[in-house]
């Protein structure tokens, strides 16, 4: 799975900081190179159901390349606040709010320019951060998540599922009440995460279907995921247990709010240099979703790893090498700093 050093839960705890950004308390991992001034600051944005620790294979690797690495727990996750909706507004969970908060984090850290890396929802976030804050962001890499241009027409998740993208059916379940009400205890959370992280279901059963979502009747019957060890799972479960599933699931309830925000975006194309890493065995973010992406992202490099959705862990060596090559050529191009 991987040969290089990764962060342990103890490492992550030691590197974790917190600050208030636009009224929200954020938790983030901050890893600084030990030998001199950083070449640049890179901010890594995770997706669902993940946290800053999802970048455990990438953080030490990028730090060793001379980068200052920042990995926040995104809104609703881990040590970051998870405002309840209602009474709070769902806009706290939008891409625009994430962009505002990451920009505020960069300012807090004294970074006038940042590189961005994203995975899953974090992949969508990094594209939007660059569009809302084009002067702040210099380069982007996204693992699994292709670029999607803001739309002129609102399409609900139901419309997409019943039309061109039936494999987004799981999003209807996650946006609804079932998972949030069923997954309450630490044991529930651990079982649910094992299922999402490819833990083995009973014979003849599948925990997660892209079209239908999670089979919650299998909670208590899922085997351990082989993608992380017991100590790592314990750490992630502790982070999720702090505020529960409400915050993370709110990311699936923002489609209309995101659409309304993005009507104000001045540019529908992605002009920044982008490294897109396709995971060839991802059953949701499949190859067809990135077909023609070069038309919208003209300054793009496409790479591929043989892995499922959790490519950051399953193919960490390959992902890291692709990112390293891109940093050395496209990002720095022989320069010592940005």
Residues 265, 117, 253, 159, CA torsion sign:
positive
309 is catalytic: yes
**Would you give the DSSP letter of residue 329?**
I
Q: Which residue has the tokens 């899922």?
A: 222
120 is catalytic: yes
Task: Choose the catalytic residue: 73, 101, 120, 261.
Answer: 120
Q: H/E element holding 17?
A: strand 16-21
CA pair distance 268, 205, nearest whole angstrom:
42
Task: Choose the catalytic residue: 119, 139, 194, 309.
Answer: 309
**Would you give the DSSP letter of residue 74?**
P
- CB proximity list for 278: less than 8 A, separation 6 or greater: 144, 146, 287, 290, 302, 303, 304, 305
Tokens of 237: 């479960």
CA pair distance 135, 130, nearest whole angstrom:
8
Residues 234, 51, 249, 167, CA torsion sign:
negative
CB 251 within 8 A of CB 76: yes
Query: Burial, 87: exposed, middle or buried (Cβ in 10 Å; 0-12, 13-18, 19+)?
Result: exposed
CB 321 within 8 A of CB 294: no
First CA to last CA distance, the chain? 32
* Residue numbers annotated as active site: 120, 309
């Amino acid at each position: 799975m991987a040969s290089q050093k990764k962060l342990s839960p103890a490492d992550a705890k030691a590197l974790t900081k917190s600050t208030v950004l636009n009224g929200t308390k954020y938790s983030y991992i901050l890893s600084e190179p030990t030998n001199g001034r950083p070449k640049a600051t890179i901010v890594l944005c995770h997706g669902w159901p993940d946290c800053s620790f999802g970048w455990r294979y990438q953080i030490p690797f990028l730090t060793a390349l001379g980068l200052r690495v920042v990995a926040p727990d995104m809104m609703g996750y881990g040590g970051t606040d998870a405002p309840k909706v209602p009474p709070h507004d769902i806009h706290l969970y939008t891409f625009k709010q994430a962009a505002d908060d990451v920009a505020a984090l960069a300012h807090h850290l004294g970074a006038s320019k940042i590189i961005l890396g994203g995975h899953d929802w974090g992949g969508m976030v990094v594209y939007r951060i660059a569009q809302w804050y084009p002067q702040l962001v210099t380069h982007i890499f996204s693992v699994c998540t292709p670029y999607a241009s803001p739309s002129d027409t609102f399409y609900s998740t139901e419309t997409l599922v019943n039309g061109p993208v039936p494999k987004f059916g799981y999003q209807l379940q996650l946006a609804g009440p079932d998972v949030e009400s069923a997954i309450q205890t630490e044991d529930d959370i651990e079982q649910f995460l094992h299922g999402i992280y490819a833990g083995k279901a009973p014979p003849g059963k599948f925990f997660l279907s892209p079209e239908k979502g999670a089979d919650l009747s299998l909670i208590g019957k899922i085997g351990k995921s082989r993608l992380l060890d017991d100590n790592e799972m314990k750490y992630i479960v502790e982070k999720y247990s702090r505020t529960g599933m409400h915050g993370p699931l709110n990311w699936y309830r923002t489609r209309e709010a995101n659409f309304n925000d993005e009507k104000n975006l001045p540019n529908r194309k992605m002009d920044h240099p982008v490294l897109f890493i396709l995971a060839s065995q991802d059953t949701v973010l499949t190859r067809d979703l990135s077909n023609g992406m070069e038309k919208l992202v003209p300054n793009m490099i496409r790479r591929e790893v043989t892995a499922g959705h959790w490519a950051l862990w399953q193919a960490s060596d390959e992902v890291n090498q692709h990112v390293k090559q891109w940093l050395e050529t496209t990002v720095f191009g022989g320069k010592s700093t940005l």
